[in-house]
A and B are shown apart, each in its own frame.
Chain A
Amino acid sequence: MFAKPARRDILRALPCGFGMLGLGDALASTDPHIPRAPHFAPKAKRVIFLFMHGGPSHMDTFDPKPRLERDHGKPLPFERPLTFAEGKVSTLLKSPWRFRKHGQSGIEVSELLPNIATCVDDLCVIRSMVGDSVAHGGAIMQLHTGSNTFTRPSMGSWVVFGLGSENRNLPSFITIKPTLGFGGAKNWNSGFLPAVYQGTAVGHGGLDLTNVKDPIEHLSNKRYSPDQQRYQLEMLRKLNAKDAAGASDPELEARIQAFELAFRMQTHAPEAFDVSREAESTRRLYGLDEEESKEFGWQCLVARRLAERGVRFIQCSHTYRVGNEAGWDAHTELVRLHTKTARHVDKPVAGLLKDLKSRGLLDDTLVLWGGEFGRTPIAEGGDGRDHNPYGYTMWLAGGGVKRGMVYGATDEFGYHAVEDRMHLHDLHATILHLLGLDHMRLTWRQGGRDFRLTDVAGVVARKIVA
């Protein structure tokens, strides 16, 4: 769609030139965030990505494996692929949790996630995810950017590059409390796409943000009253008007507009993040009243408020480390760590799904849940599980995916995806497709080559499209 935008100047990178337009139109056309028509009719307008950093175990959540029950303690009957914790050889480990069929679809979910289980008829559970990295760094980068080796624009950047923004008072791509390790900002930056498409980070993984004053950096002025600041901005307008000397210069005008937008953002953004405006029942729905779930509950509730306000791509992250120990990354003590971590997210995630649905937002909001990989069916250190990118589970909900569906399968041990394999490239292609974007046509020319989110791969999983 944007075959060859000029490299450096965002003003020139946009679809229509401003040469022959009036000034008002010129401003609109130079705005990189103006909503843009997708390639074809979209099923979803926005994405909420619930990132489970560390990698939840699929065999203990959404992918039951009776064979593990039977062969518990026996060695793996085939060669173990490259793992993260090399050297330790171990045996098959059955799930400590019971699975039960839920909803009309009868999809099995373990007792680890009792609340999400009640939403199962809205989920499309992909049991055949595949990635290329066994270490967190590469796996996270591939999940977020499509590449586990090079720096590339992140998924959210591609989406806002393709679709623009529907809210002129908020950033179009917001990532809440992202981790600063494992690639850090590379996971929400815009790579070679213009910087306007990068994600805006709200805090980072180590911060307690539930009572935050400035969700977006530099959002409020600590020195001047609103009156004084308006007076100052009026002065700035005069300075700029005099400087332009009456000539209409789109670049200078764009900068003036950026200040106007900033001032609007300053007024509107705090309200968007203010969950105290929500009804008590809503806050309870997200688990904000419970110690264990209030943190992620806050993230999910903020995500819904941002979705309502037209933010295009929203990411919530369950942090890698909780206090001084692992969250989902249970190399040891699977039972304790997964029980604890599941309690952090189970209620908030279910609350978000229910809330989106009751507000009619689930129809055009695509929710993605999952980690950078799953875990191994064999034990690590006796009571933990290692990383497994060869076959694991993520799920989608809402925005044009089939509901109450299981897609793909792993082998009977849960090690390798064997049916309808969904490589991360395929997942990216499918997400773009649901947003009305053709992953082959959403390209950016850089260094003489057209780059895309899906590199040179990616097949849309049409079976899951509603």
Chain B
Amino acid sequence: MRSILIGIWAAGTVSAQTGEFFERSVRPVFAEQCQTCHNAKVRMGGLDLTSAEGVAKGAASGAVIDRADPGSSRLLRAIGYDGAIKMPPSGKLSDERIRAIRSWVRDGAAWPAGGAVPGATAFWSFVPPKAPVVPKLRNERWVRNDIDRFLAASWEAARVTPAAAAGRLTLLRRVTFDLTGLPPTPEQGSEFLADQSPQAFENLVERLLASPRYGERWGRHWLDVARYADSTGADEDHRYPHAWRYRDYVIDAFNRDLPYDRFVTEQIAGDRTGSIVATGFLALGPKLIAERDKVKAFYDIVDEQIDVVSRGILGLSISCARCHDHKFDPVSTRDYYSLAAIFASTKQLADAESNPSKLYFTPLGPAEEARRYQEHQAKIAALEKEIEAVYTKQRQRRAEKLRPRMADYMQAAWRVYAKGEKAEPVAGEAGLDAIAVQGWVRYLKPHGERIAHLDRWHAVTESTVGVLAAEYQEDYQREAAERRKSTARKYVGDNRFFTDVNGAASPFAIPEKLRDAMASPEAKQELASLRASLDELRRASPPEPPLACAVAEGKQVRQQVFRRGDHNQRGDTVPRAVPAILAVDGQPEFREGSGRLELARWLVSPGNPLTARVMVNRIWQWHFGEGLVRTPSNFGKTGEAPTHPELLDYLAVRFSESGWSIKAMHRLILSSNAYRMRSASSAAHEERDPENRLLARFPRRRLDAEEIRDALLSFDGALDLTVGGALQKMTEGNEKPFTNGRLGMDPDSTRRRTVYLPLRRSNLPGALALFDFVDSVTTAEVRSRTNVAPQALYLMNSPFVTERSASFAGKLLSGVPMPAARVERAYRTVFGRPPQADEIERDLHYIHGFPAGPNSLEAWASYCQALIASNEFIYVR
């Protein structure tokens, strides 16, 4: 029997009956549940379940079919969830399917040749998008462009009617916040209403896209993905002093509509394409500064970059594969380390091998200029050291002179602090140096805190002081003699009294402010001449050349797989490569350098199934609040399926074919009717589609943290619209780590747009965090939108909101004479619409009835604050 079976394996001949059973009940299960990971290309766990050869070969850990005892085959144990390996990981197969495979294995596990289900191994997002057929509708009345056709087709099927068209002022407020992050001004409202042309909305869109405010809003969306911040976060949170240049690059890229393929390429490999600042995308991630395991610290950086590239650009989570083959998606540890090879061959830190806490900054000007600057700084530092050395020598010489009478100094000091005598006469009487006596007073006088090595001294009395002082001096001299004998002595049992007396803060030392006065004549002369040279050198220093936080090409590494992510357990060496499942058109050829340029080009190549889809989905999401795929950074198997797969592919193909223009995508989306519906939900919508997956109405959204702050600054015209630059001087990266004064910048101290506030990872500005700003540590796919009491406290009580409300009220009072007109102006400013008659009446009633101050500035200020705190302001409809 067995030999016959082997024969079947080899020849691949199967009886007609078995073959039919296989095709009907077994192959579809493999195709649907197993082959995405277990195919000839990916071979997760070494196993290929797409052919007779693959099945026969088994997994890396051994055979999966036990031909001697088919019932105990590992394949059956895995699908039966009996052992450690449970397959498929997404959930146990139905009993019926398990029975089918069991029976197939018992019957010899024969695998008929050919007849593979076409595309069976392909999960939707791993197949490149193709332009879909635009649906034909029975009723075209509602349609403005193809987007509407895709949506309307789904409504026809679900018998849902779309919401009515939004009013013009609603639309104006929606699109202005959407494209610029700011509210429309009352004047813009009047202008838009006055434009009666059929192109009025398109004209408005063009005006908004051309405004520098556009890049500030949409660049910030990308900065969410890029987990942008101005410090290293993690443990010690050092500053990235030049991070703002990357932020400005992103804003500018959106404003000039840099094609997305180039935008991606520059961010991955800008050092090779002349846009080095763009590589801040890789360089500005969180970093552990004080990690003692340097190799781990380095590979944490690599990992963090793989994560931002894979989730941010590919919409696929690859980082899980650092430690084990991905549980759900066909990504193996080999895939992971093949990517790691690229980032590990990249220069990430100034000196990754010996000092991983020193950040790497790239000069933006000519290298020669930077070198000259650094050399000059080194000369200054050397001279400063020389000056310090003169003082040290002075100090040592003085200590040497005074030390032989240490016991006398101690006794004198005791007389001063314990007996209340004056230092000068005590010193004069004993022929001692008065300044040194004072030094000893400072050192020996008890301060309320116990100092162990002075315990004996602090128990001193009139009768013992002489003996004790002599003992301390002897102790000192003994220690000094020991140390002369053995340098190792330093580290064995410290003598703290010795260290204190011998150190820079010794009681014999010259106080800082007397250092110059007490220097010897020769030293004075030397210092004067050194100082003159130093001044001269400083004057002659070239200005600091501009620097960027960027990456560069590094040493090419031979990357090995780290078993369980542990760099001490090294496995096979892997070549640089992109994940096998995505290499639809084959692997790119990695030739020179780290391979980042090749990786970047592959990311935006026509064969890449994900990059365009992921970005058009993000653009859609930033317009509509939710993406067509509602897990925008996870297009893998655990992500959500697209609500409108054809529309997604339609947009992706349009995007790449039209030159990757983001602004062109805005124009396309904004010219649809889908964008112009009302947001009000009907009972029918709530019942049939509570999550609005059919997009038959426009979703309402709460303003983002930046929109709230910027709008509040704009109401009275206080908002400073300067573009770009650093708001905080951050001269060097390594600031003292152990301080509590790490609040970063207070947002209330500037009136610049929020996007320009420096972001300290460990302490994001409170008002931003409160309104669900991103954590800026990992790539963010969506902002949460919470409604919590601390937000209410902020709007009711914070100095910022009260000050802004009062200032806005002041502007209303001085600029608009009639109270009713003030109410009107306030509505147009805050809500973007005129008030109704009953609202004017009610609101004036409020002003007149304000407790302890009707009609006052306080009344108006509290009124403006109520408008700001209201739902109508905080939501865009």
Contacts and interface: CB of A to CB of B under 8 A. Distances in A.
Given A10-B784, A90-B492, A137 B236 contact: yes
Interface residues of B, number: 97
A170 B48 CA distance: 57
Contacts of B235: 135-138, 141, 182-183
Contact of A181 (B737, B792, B870): B737
Nearest to B636: A448
Interface in B447-489: 449-452
B762 A255 contact: no
Given A200-B790, A244-B871, A221 B290 contact: no
Contacts, number: 257
A321 B739 CA distance: 8
Interface string B267-299: 000000000000000000010111111000000
A219 B766 CA distance: 14
Contacts of A339: 450
B789 A336 contact: no
B775 A191 contact: yes
B120 to A, nearest CB: 22
A262 B796 contact: yes
Contacts of B633: 447
B145 interface: no
A353 interface: no
A193 to B, nearest CB: 10
Interface in B633-648: 633-634, 636-639
Contact of A259 (B292, B786, B792): B792
B623 to A, nearest CB: 16
B452 A335 contact: yes
A262 B788 CA distance: 9
B740 interface: yes
Contacts of A259: 789, 792, 796, 869
Interface string B772-795: 100101100011111111111110
Please indicate which of the listed interface residues B634, B686, B797 has the most CB atoms of chain A within 10 Å of its own CB: B797
Nearest to A214: B797
Nearest to A319: B740
B494 A219 contact: no
A181 B236 contact: yes
A240 B494 contact: no
A66 interface: no
Contacts of B790: 171, 200, 216-218, 262
A235 B862 CA distance: 10
B742 A184 contact: yes
A151 B778 CA distance: 8
A261 interface: yes
A383 B766 contact: no
Nearest to B682: A247
Interface string A232-247: 1101101110111000
Interface stretch (B173-181, B523-531, B653-661, B842-850): B842-850
Interface in A112-159: 133-138, 141, 149-151
B863 A235 contact: yes
Nearest to B290: A135
Contacts of B233: 151, 186
A382 B491 contact: yes
A137 B286 CA distance: 13
Please indicate which of the listed interface residues B286, B452, B798 has the most CB atoms of chain A within 10 Å of its own CB: B452
Give the secondary structure class of B's interface. Answer: loop
B870 A236 contact: yes
Interface in B746-775: 762-764, 766, 769, 772, 775
B617 interface: no
A280 interface: no
A340 B450 CA distance: 8
A262 B738 contact: no
A314 B420 CA distance: 50
A258 B791 contact: yes
Contact of B237 (A96, A133, A181, A263): A181
Given A91-B492, A225-B851, A218 B797 contact: yes
B851 A228 contact: yes
Interface stretch (A81-89, A417-425, A432-440): A81-89
A231 interface: yes
Given A19-B690, A231-B849, A255 B787 contact: yes
Nearest to B862: A232
B631 interface: yes
Nearest to B782: A8
A236 B785 contact: no
A270 interface: no
Interface string B105-118: 00000000000000
A365 to B, nearest CB: 24
B852 interface: yes
A266 B789 CA distance: 10
A73 B493 contact: yes
Given A181-B236, A261-B789, A383-B494, A231 B290 contact: no
Contact of B634 (A180, A218, A263, A448): A448
A448 B763 contact: no
Contact of B292 (A84, A90, A184, A196): A84
A236 B842 CA distance: 12
A137 B290 contact: yes
Contact of A251 (B777, B787, B797): B787
Nearest to A249: B681
A195 interface: yes
Nearest to B801: A218
Contacts of B386: none
Contacts of B492: 73, 90-91, 382
Interface in B171-222: none
B798 to A, nearest CB: 5
Contacts of B491: 88-90, 381-382
B493 A379 contact: yes
B300 interface: yes
Contacts of A218: 790, 793-794, 796-798
Nearest to A200: B790
A225 B852 contact: yes
Given A181-B738, A227-B852, A196 B788 contact: yes
A336 B786 CA distance: 48
Nearest to B329: A448
Given A231-B851, A243-B871, A251-B787, A136 B290 contact: yes
Contacts of B375: none
Given A151-B778, A333-B496, A448-B631, 14 more contacts: A8-B783, A12-B691, A89-B491, A181-B742, A183-B235, A200-B790, A220-B797, A236-B866, A239-B866, A243-B871, A255-B787, A259-B789, A262-B792, A262-B793
8 contacts: A91-B492, A149-B300, A183-B234, A186-B762, A195-B788, A218-B796, A383-B496, A448-B317
* Among all A-B residue pairs, the 4 with the closest Cβ atoms: A137-B235, A382-B494, A448-B638, A184-B762
